[in-house]
Structure 1
Amino acid sequence: MARFTGKSIIVTGAGSGIGRATALLFAREGGSVIVADQAETVEETADLIDRAGGTAHAIRIDAGSEDDVVRAVTVACEYYGGLDVMFANAGISGGMANIFDTDVALITEVLRVNLIGPFLAIKHAAPKIAERGGGAIVLTASVAGIRSGAGSPAYSASKAGVINLAMVSAQQLAGSNVRVNAICPGLTETGMTKPTFDYARDAGKMDRLGRLNPLRRGAQPEELAEVAAFLASDAASYVNGQAIAVDGGLSSSHPVTRQDYGKTAV
């Protein structure tokens, strides 16, 4: 497959996890990718793409800084002649403090990166994508933004904002042929969740990760990358303003006492 041949693409948060997996997939399918991250591991992502025969250029940015987002868009246009796809994936967790233990500085920083970052990505990428005749913007939200129980108040609020931002921006870009959608990952093995996965492996408790979803496991970044790439591709040409949960079925139910398939309820 070569869904992204001739496409100029930006991926933020590309230094690890979902961002890296998606950047590798975009490049493997012909895309020319600006891999952007605040972490120096973004250089490793570019090297992986280069060694695989793809095209990538790494830049260090703060995804919540308007100047840095403008720079990323400018670099994509200078290197690759324009912009077709923006994957605004960068985010931070902000810890697990409850509302009463969360100070204003913490929630401000979480909102700056997780919500203002995607806002800036849309604001500055959409006009360039429209100039090329249209394309796609994909945002990384979270199941934590759909309902409570999957993240801290700061993180959950930021991701709920991302979901709404996808809907609002899709409407405000009417007639531009620029589509905006969000993916909502469930528990996924990324840099953010690495301590949880490492602990489970060391303790022999991997079977407990993701036990609340019907698939009874956590996700790998490549599984999220496939959905992000679909939304960015022409195969999703009529998908717009949507938030797609990729969570093993976690968000499909209210809390219940669930029996396993093939077993008799007690």
Structure 2
Amino acid sequence: MARFTGKSVIVTGAGSGIGRAAAIAFAAEGARVVVADLTEGAEETAATIGPAARAIRIDAGREDDVLRMIALAEEAHGGLDIMFANAGISGGMANIFDTDVALMTEVLRVNLIGPFLAIKHAAPRIAARGGGAIILTASVAGLRSGAGSPAYSASKAGVINLAQVAAQQLSGSNVRANALLPGLTETGMTQVVFDHAREVGKLDRVGRLNPLRRGGSPEELARVALFLASDDASYVNGQAIVADGGLSSSHPVIRQEYGITAA
């Protein structure tokens, strides 16, 4: 497949996890990619991709950095067609009463102000090229309690709403905006969970609460992001697309077994 031949793409948080998998997948389908991250992972991902990628170190929640990133896409690749605002931080697992204002502020700055800045500054450039797509990484934690800290969950709920608002305010521009909501996925944020499970021989228990009974891989989530960025999703706009193995399809229940197993 070459759905993105000639397209200019930015992926933030591309130094690892879903962002890295998406950047590699975009390039494999013909895109020229700006690989953005706060860490040296940006250069590592770009080196993996090769000449089709340019690396830049940015803080996704700083406006000057976002402007530098978009300028690089325009200078190196002639414009911008797709923005995947994927960068985020977890904020730990403290409860409301143990979360201080500084932590809450920082999580919102990166996870919510970052996507806001991406939309604000990328959308006009994308529209100038005739249209394209913006994808924001939210989370199932933004749907309801139980999948993240208060700060993280609140920030991701905001991202879901931001995608909806953006879709409306970009009316007539031919720029689509959607949110991708991963469930438990093996990324830098969750690596300690997966690594510990491997060490104690209980990897099969990770993700067991969803009907697929496993965690997701970055590549699986990247494929959903690429779908949303592609013309295959040309009529998908302002949506929160969940990829969580079915976890959010049910309220908490005692699961019944029906004797249906894989062959």
- 1:235 is aligned with what amino acid? D
Aligned to 1:41: 41
- Unaligned segments of structure 2, at least 5 residues: none
Aligned to 1:16: 16
Aligned length: 260
Partners of 1:18 and 1:85 lie apart in 2 by: 16
Aligned to 1:130: 127
Matched, 1:83 2:80: yes
- Unaligned segments of structure 1, at least 5 residues: none
Partners of 1:9 and 1:260 lie apart in 2 by: 44
Instruction: Using the aligned pairs only, state the percent identity.
Output: 78
Alignment of 1:1-266 (within 5 A): 1-50=1-50, 55-262=52-259
Partners of 2:7 and 2:143 lie apart in 1 by: 31
Question: RMSD over aligned Cα, in angstroms?
Answer: 0.7
Listed one character per residue, the Cα deviations across residues 72-121 of structure 1 (whole Å, up to 9, x for unaligned) are 01110011110000000000000000000000000000000000000000
- 1:201 is aligned with what amino acid? R
The alpha-carbon deviation at position 259 of structure 1 amounts to 2.1
Q: Secondary structure of 1:179's partner?
A: strand
Partners of 2:77 and 2:22 lie apart in 1 by: 18
Partners of 1:149 and 1:196 lie apart in 2 by: 16
Listed one character per residue, the Cα deviations across residues 104-141 of structure 1 (whole Å, up to 9, x for unaligned) are 00000000000000000000000000000000000000
Partners of 1:5 and 1:13 lie apart in 2 by: 22
Partners of 2:256 and 2:44 lie apart in 1 by: 44
Q: Secondary structure of 2:228's partner?
A: helix
The alpha-carbon deviation at position 260 of structure 1 amounts to 3.0
The alpha-carbon deviation at position 207 of structure 1 amounts to 1.1
Partners of 1:261 and 1:190 lie apart in 2 by: 33
Partners of 1:256 and 1:149 lie apart in 2 by: 14
Partners of 2:6 and 2:246 lie apart in 1 by: 35
Q: Secondary structure of 2:177's partner?
A: strand
- 2:42 is aligned with what amino acid? V
Partners of 1:261 and 1:224 lie apart in 2 by: 29
Partners of 1:194 and 1:100 lie apart in 2 by: 26
Q: Secondary structure of 1:138's partner?
A: strand
The alpha-carbon deviation at position 261 of structure 1 amounts to 3.8
- 1:157 is aligned with what amino acid? A
TM-score by length of structure 1 reads 0.97
Q: Secondary structure of 2:105's partner?
A: helix
The alpha-carbon deviation at position 37 of structure 1 amounts to 0.2
